[in-house]
Amino acid sequence: MYLIKNNNIRISVRNLVEFICCGGDIDNRTSGMSDMKAMQEGTRIHKKIQKSMGPSYKAEVPLKLDVLVEHKEAYVITLEGRADGIICDFEEDEEGNKIPITDVTIDEIKSTQADISKISEPIYVHKAQALCYAYIFAVTHELESINVQVTYCNVENELTKIFNEQYSFDMLSKWFEDLLEQFEKWTDFLFETKKIRQQSIKELEFPFEYRKGQKELAADVYRTIARNKNLFIQAPTGVGKTISTVYPAVKAVGEELADKIFYLTAKTITRTVVEDTFNLLRKNNLMFRTVTLTAKDKICILEERECNPVACSCANGHFNRVNDAVFDIVSHEYSIDRDKIVEYAVKHNVCPFEMSLDVTYWCDGIICDYNYLFDPNVHLKRYFFDGNKGEFIFLVDEAHNLVERARSMYSAQLCKEEFLEVKKLVKGIDKRLESALEMSNKALLELKRECENYQILDSTSHFIMGLERVFFQMQKFNEEHRKFEHKDKLSEFYLKVRHFLNMYEILDDKYIIYTEYSEDGRFLLHLFCVDPSTNISSCIQQGISTIFFSATLLPIQYFKEMLTGNLEDYAIYAESPFDVNKRRLMIANDVSSKYTRRNISEYQKICEYIKQIIDAHQGNYMVFFPSYSFMEAVYNEMISLGYTEYDKGDFKIIKQNSSMNEKDREEFLLNFTETNFTQTNLTQTNFTQTSVIAKSIIGFCVIGGIFSEGIDLKNDCLVGSIIVGTGLPMICNERQILRKYFDENEKNGYDYAYVYPGMNKVLQAAGRVIRTDDDKGIIMLLDERFLNRDYLKIFPREWDSFFSVNKNTITEVSKEFWNLI
């Protein structure tokens, strides 16, 4: 919203009036155009009106005003923007300055989907924008009066309605002074807190004794930020990636190299770690305000979210109260997490989610999901819309997740059958929407007739034209039928169509358009983003520097290509501080998870390995499988071999379930942290388990799932990770398309589509074992393919020493390790 540098704060006229002058309700019953389409239509309407106004109409006139504020410490507020139009005749004086010689009118143009005839007066925030421009122009040209005009234009029929009012300079000046007075309490807050923040950063020391290589890592992060570059960090677990990136980023803010830090994560549990890191620095006297953003559904205080003034008292009049709520929380809190947001939102009766977004303006650090920067549907438009750029540092944690997440964000699909389903819902209610849906259905039917398994298309422009008509008619339908009984289904489909059109607007040669049949026989049209680097790069260019870091960024060149597309970006490999003698890596040379070898004999081998590893040393282990079906097959063999008969209570197996919720996940992990495994603390939950006393807990999990990364089982809570298979993704049309695309672009398509994503899952699962300096344990890779050169060459450095074992030697090699420890 603003840019603060030294004793100057810059803010656009639009942002100022939207912040101070906006009021009213939150109402999700209205829907607008897709972002891309709205921008295009708004620009087109603006240009058309501007051209029609005649020679006295000057379009897109830049205006700027500096206002000196002299409170505790003097500072300057710089207001700037472009007036849509200034209507006036000018002449030049002797110095070449343009002097108005007729009455001046400031014009603010707003495109709308609303019925023009029903607009009886300009919306105040629109009028306020015109009033600001009028004041700036009147001051700089010493005018005694000026006209303020707001022009509305309907984007469908292009009908216009104009509201015009004359203001004396005294009236305008009084209005502007009142506006600025309301804003000054916020700017006073900013400059006062910034001074405190900068002094605290200057005195801040690293809170620990540096581990081996950690000081160099922090220095590399700082230098990267100072040079406005990007950095990829491959850092094994335990290096201290979070503090090693947060600390130098905070120091960079203290040196005026940046103004705000965005810490971006893939998982909720990681956000907790970041909050703890900032809290640790605050215990060392850092005065640095952070806010954690929580998804709308998770932070809503209603049982079922319904964002309109009828269903929610918080939505009713939210914008009238939210500024007071925001000022209250930022004036009293430095660590603003989910609980704090809800507390203050309830106190002021405002929407906690919308409030949290406004809180970000007044915080130094924002902790949030990847979506808030990268996802075109939910990114923070107040920061990242229309190419806006700020002095932001982006810290991207667990960056190995971003490739697949970004592919999903920037891809889109539509299902032919859904067009017919929606058509049935609106049948007899809206013939125009009905007709548009039928036309799109027919276009998809033609594509369906040409498709056997899947078909890659050169273009789908003929379908897009009809889809735009569907979208437009759905907008009108939503406006005219707010109480439609199937509005949830219609809204879901509307959002899919909007996303599809938005992705079509950014389509380039890194996309593949294809059709296919889903498993249930439905016909799908895909816009598949095979290489998201262009889209990711455009996002991170809105800041000054991005630090990508993870324990698994191998091979680094692959991630550079997929995340930024710039092979010149910096990259470092942080050395592991752990004693390698406390960890033993073993690779089985006589077992495989290949599809051609998935049989009882192979399952029994895997059971033998698990049993011998546990017999060699009692403790808690996690076993990671390629799929739920594979996991079940091995579990059943464990039963048939008698390995789950606990007469002696040697160990107990618990299994991950595909439908686990947050509570189930916590209870599953609790089994590994309890010291006494009794029947009372092993109650039945939404995962399979036995309920006997056991000396060891064996967790059967799926690789790439919720337990293969982001969990922190330290010391004796976990002593081994057994990984079945190479983590290769399932063969499917999408993976085959990826493989073909990269082959055609002179890459190794198989590696890009299968090996690299699979290997990163393996590395994540293996990383569950060694978490602290005191940890010790084994990593067992149950697949002979790991011994192939193609896999060995992408092993991390700390895996340069391993033991090749078979079912006859595994016990001896395991016992030897534990005896040495």
Q: How many structural domains comprise the chain?
A: 4
Instruction: Quote the pLDDT of residue 778.
Output: 97
Confidence (pLDDT) at 645:
55
> Measured between alpha carbons, how far is 654 from 682 in angstroms, rounded to an integer?
10
Alpha helices in 385-482 (DSSP H): 402-410, 416-426, 431-450, 461-480
Indicate if the pLDDT at residue 811 is higher than 90. yes
- pLDDT at 91 (0 to 100): 84
Closest C-alpha to 452, from 382, 396, 516, 518: 516
Question: Do 95 and 50 share a structural domain?
Answer: yes
pLDDT in tens, 397-413: 999 999 999 999 999 99
Q: Does residue 140 form part of some domain?
A: yes
Q: What is the CATH number of the domain that holds 423?
A: 1.10.275.40
Q: Give me the mean pLDDT over the 446-458 stretch.
A: 95
Angle, helix 461-480 to helix 487-505, in steps of 10 degrees: 140
Helix axes 416-426, 487-505, angle to 10 degrees: 140
- 616 and 565 assigned to the same domain: no
For residues 383 and 421, state if they share a domain.
Answer: no
In the structure, what pLDDT confidence band is assigned to residue 43 with cuts at 50, 70 and 90?
A: confident
Same domain, 651 and 752: yes
pLDDT, tens digit, 9 for 90 and up, residues 784-805:
999 999 999 999 998 999 999 9
Q: Are residues 365 and 427 in the same domain?
A: no
- Give the CATH number of the domain where residue 713 resides: 3.40.50.300
Residues 652 and 799 in one domain: yes
Asked whether residue 203 is domain-assigned, the answer is: no
- Smallest Cα–Cα separation from 330: which of 364, 367, 380, 306? 364
Query: Is residue 192, in this structure, part of any structural domain at all?
Result: no
The verdict on residue 207 lying in a domain is no
Average pLDDT over residues 331-350: 97
218 within 8 A of 246, measured Cβ to Cβ: no
Residue 681: per-residue pLDDT: 39
Where residue 33 falls among pLDDT bands split at 50, 70, 90?
very low
pLDDT value of position 527 = 98
pLDDT average, residue stretch 39-62: 81
Return the CATH number at 31: 3.90.320
CB 299 within 8 A of CB 352: yes
Share of the chain above pLDDT 90, in %: 75
* Alpha-carbon distances, residue 147 vs 105, 131, 658, 672 (angstroms): 4, 9, 65, 72
What is the arithmetic mean of pLDDT over 167-187?
Answer: 96
Read off the tokens for 578.
């752990």
On the CB side of 52, CA atoms within 13 Å amount to: 10
Does residue 59 have a pLDDT over 50? Answer: yes
Q: DSSP labels for 306-363? A: --STTT-TTTTTHHHHHHHHHHHHHHH-SEE-HHHHHHHHHHHT--HHHHHHHHGGG-
Whether residue 698 lies inside any domain: the answer is: yes
Q: Say if 204 falls within a structural domain.
A: no
Q: Are 299 and 401 in contact (CB under 8 A)?
A: no
Q: Which stretch of DSSP H or E encloses residue 146? A: strand 145-154
> How far is CA 127 from each of CA 13, 51, 103, 765, rounded to the nearest angstrom?
12, 22, 19, 57
- Whether pLDDT at 344 is above 90: yes
φ, ψ dihedrals at 715, nearest 5°: 55, -125
The residue among 148, 169, 186 that closes a domain is 186
Task: Give 385's pLDDT tier (boundaries 50, 70, 90).
Answer: confident
Query: How many angstroms separate the CA atoms of 37 and 452, rounded?
Result: 34
Side-chain-side CA neighbours of 340 within 13 Å: the count stands at: 19
Tokens 């009036």 belong to residue: 17
Residue 154, strand partner residues = 112
Count of beta carbons in the 10 Å neighbourhood of residue 132: 29
Q: Provide the residue count of the chain.
A: 821
656-704 pLDDT, tens per residue?
999 998 889 999 999 998 554 443 333 334 444 444 445 789 999 999 9
Do 600 and 622 share a structural domain? yes
In a domain, 107, yes or no: yes
Q: Residue 677's pLDDT is what?
A: 42
Q: Which of 186, 204, 228 is the last residue of a domain?
A: 186
Residues 330 and 447 in one domain: no
Percentage of the residues of the chain whose pLDDT score is greater than 70: 95
Q: What is the mean pLDDT of residues 734-750?
A: 97
Does 682 share its domain with 770? yes
348 shares a domain with 449: no
- Examine the domain organization and report whether 569 and 621 are in the same domain: no
pLDDT for position 39: 52
Tell me how far apart the alpha carbons of residues 701 and 628 are, in angstroms, rounded to a whole number. 8
CA 53 to chain centre: 43
Element (H, E) at 632: helix 628-640
Question: Could you tell me which of 576, 419, 604, 591 has the C-alpha nearest to residue 494?
Answer: 419
**Domain span including residue 610:** 580-820
Same structural domain, 803 and 718: yes
SS3 595: helix
Query: What are the tens digits of pLDDT across the range 521-545?
Result: 999 999 999 999 999 999 999 999 9
Residue 195 domain-assigned (yes or no):
no
